[in-house]
């Protein structure tokens, strides 16, 4: 993968789910879930980029339980993943959503010998081991997403359209929850564990961001950012290094960065996309770099160096790196709903568009040098 060249990987069905393999430290691996209403056609693709050769290797697993809306690899175990899926039941004429935890038979993707290679070239979908399926209390409830607890491997937070349910992965039992009240009963869009609080769970509710402590009765948010966006807020990400900072994206095409202790005004705001922004991600290693994906069919690499200026190292950085879009990635032709940094390598990221196209790209080398040197 040379400078400016991205690697494109195409799938057969529409896609909305992408996750880096969080538990993996060496290989650049991403998992993709497909979204098709046709029964027994959905798959989980494991894509590995061989760094030395730039070659792309894939492995396909069956996901017959339904179309995948959301996928998250476990941060505790590289082989474990969790999908939010939806299936249509022809008998009841109804859709049912659920959360399932799988284990991959192997995390190796690159073939070791010719046999392996030929098996892979057949692209026969393999089976995954289904560990647990968790269903919502009411079958018609819609699940927005499911998130692993950052430290407790047995806990997941499931965001439904009006509440958050904390479940135990082994038993599937409801061990806690968040039910943001309010007269309006605005629906939830997404949610995430707060990396600092351990028990804090932040949700996006319409245009607002609210964070609840799951140990309390959740009548009042621990903190909140009201009207973070002028339209619906779609996604958020916590700054991995800087406490209290988080980035959010929404239907007003804006990328905002907040210090949630002072939630009145964003400390950084840009409107570079020309349609709704569906995803925003901090680079785990270099918090100045943000990745956004939007339904204007673009992924943007944005620098927010000015808000990372507290310590001496970074002050130098803001002098060499100007705030704003570093690079626009235009290889997509449909809405980009997912964009993720690799968990193993700080300069590689993947973006996934609805038309089943995965684009693996790199931070342009001169920016990389600016940050490193």
In whole angstroms, how close is the CB of 25 to another protein at the nearest point?
34
| CA atoms of 211 and 191, how far apart (whole Å) | 9
According to CB under 8 A, which residues from 176 to 215 bind another protein?
Answer: none
Stretch of 92-100, 151-159, 197-205, 215-223 lying at the interface with another protein (CB under 8 A): 92-100
For position 335 contacting another protein by CB under 8 A, the verdict is yes
In terms of Cβ atoms closer than 10 Å to its own Cβ (0-12, 13-18, 19+), residue 91 is: exposed
Of residues 95, 110, 175, 325, which one binds another protein by CB under 8 A?
Answer: 95
For position 110 contacting another protein by CB under 8 A, the verdict is no
For position 357 contacting another protein by CB under 8 A, the verdict is yes
| CA atoms of 130 and 109, how far apart (whole Å) | 20
Site string for another protein, 25-64 (x = CB under 8 A): ------------x---------------------------
Residue of 274, 268, 259, 272 whose CA lies nearest to 288: 268
| CA atoms of 220 and 234, how far apart (whole Å) | 22
Pairing of strands 28-35, 43-49: antiparallel
The dihedral region occupied by 163, where left means phi > 0, alpha psi between -120 and 50, and beta the remainder, is beta
Nearer to another protein, 135 or 318 (CB): 135
Stretch of 21-29, 108-116, 212-220, 350-358 lying at the interface with another protein (CB under 8 A): 350-358
Of residues 75, 88, 110, 141, which one binds another protein by CB under 8 A?
Answer: 88
Nearer to another protein, 169 or 295 (CB): 295
> How far apart, in Å, are the Cα atoms of 151 and each of 146, 155, 244?
15, 9, 19
In whole angstroms, how close is the CB of 98 to another protein at the nearest point?
15
Q: Which residues does residue 352 pair with via DSSP β-bridges, in sequence order?
A: 338, 358
Residue of 19, 33, 49, 21 whose CA lies nearest to 125: 33
Sheet with 94-103: strands ordered across: 67-73, 80-89, 94-103, 129-134
Of residues 265, 316, 333, 365, which one binds another protein by CB under 8 A?
Answer: 333
* DSSP element (H, E) containing 316: helix 312-320
In whole angstroms, how close is the CB of 84 to another protein at the nearest point?
13
Of residues 40, 94, 151, 328, which one binds another protein by CB under 8 A?
Answer: 94
For position 366 contacting another protein by CB under 8 A, the verdict is no
| CA atoms of 229 and 329, how far apart (whole Å) | 24
Of residues 30, 276, 282, 347, which one binds another protein by CB under 8 A?
Answer: 276
In terms of Cβ atoms closer than 10 Å to its own Cβ (0-12, 13-18, 19+), residue 13 is: middle
> How far apart, in Å, are the Cα atoms of 367 and each of 4, 86, 266, 325?
12, 41, 25, 11
Site string for another protein, 301-330 (x = CB under 8 A): -----------------------------x
Residue of 41, 42, 24 whose CA lies nearest to 33: 42
Site string for another protein, 5-24 (x = CB under 8 A): ---------x----------
Of residues 152, 175, 355, 368, which one binds another protein by CB under 8 A?
Answer: 355
Site string for another protein, 221-260 (x = CB under 8 A): ---------xx---------------------x-------
In whole angstroms, how close is the CB of 212 to another protein at the nearest point?
24
Nearer to another protein, 265 or 330 (CB): 330
Cα angle vertex 84, ends 78, 89, to 5°?
A: 140
Q: Which two tokens stand for residue 275?
A: 């349609």
Which residues bind to another protein, rule: CB under 8 A? 14, 37, 86, 88, 90, 93-95, 230-231, 253, 271, 273-276, 295-297, 330, 333-335, 354-355, 357
């Amino acid at each position: 993968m040379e400078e400016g060249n991205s690697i494109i990987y195409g799938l057969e069905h529409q896609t909305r789910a992408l996750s880096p393999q969080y538990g993996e430290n060496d290989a650049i691996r991403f998992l993709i879930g497909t979204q098709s209403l046709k029964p027994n056609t959905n798959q989980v693709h494991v894509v590995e980029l061989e760094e030395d050769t730039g070659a792309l290797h894939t492995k396909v697993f069956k996901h017959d339980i339904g179309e995948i809306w959301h996928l998250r690899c476990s941060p505790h175990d590289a082989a474990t993943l969790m999908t939010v899926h939806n299936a249509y039941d022809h008998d009841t004429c109804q859709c049912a959503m659920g959360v399932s935890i799988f284990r991959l038979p192997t995390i190796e993707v690159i073939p070791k010998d010719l046999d392996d290679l030929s098996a892979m070239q057949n692209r026969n979908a393999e089976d995954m081991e289904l560990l647990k399926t968790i269903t919502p209390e009411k079958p018609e409830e819609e699940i927005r997403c499911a998130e692993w607890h950052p430290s407790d491997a047995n806990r997941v937070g499931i965001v439904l359209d009006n509440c958050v349910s904390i479940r135990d992965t082994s038993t599937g039992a409801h061990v806690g929850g968040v039910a943001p009240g309010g007269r309006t009963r605005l629906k939830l869009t997404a949610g995430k564990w707060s990396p600092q609080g351990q028990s804090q769970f932040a949700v996006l509710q319409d245009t607002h961001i609210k964070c609840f402590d799951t140990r309390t009765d959740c009548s009042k948010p621990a903190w909140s950012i009201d009207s973070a966006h002028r339209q619906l807020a779609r996604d958020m990400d916590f700054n991995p290094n800087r406490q209290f900072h988080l980035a959010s994206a929404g239907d007003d095409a804006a990328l905002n960065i907040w210090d949630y202790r002072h939630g009145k005004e964003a400390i950084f705001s840009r409107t570079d996309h020309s349609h709704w922004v569906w995803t925003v991600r901090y680079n785990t290693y270099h918090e100045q770099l943000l990745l956004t994906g939007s339904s204007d069919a673009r992924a943007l690499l944005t620098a927010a160096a000015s808000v990372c200026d507290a310590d001496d190292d970074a002050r130098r950085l803001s002098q060499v790196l100007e705030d704003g879009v570093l690079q626009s990635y235009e290889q997509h032709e449909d809405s980009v709903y997912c964009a993720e940094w690799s968990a193993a390598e700080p300069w590689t990221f993947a973006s996934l568009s609805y038309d089943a196209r995965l684009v693996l790209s790199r931070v342009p080398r001169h920016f990389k040098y600016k940050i490193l040197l």
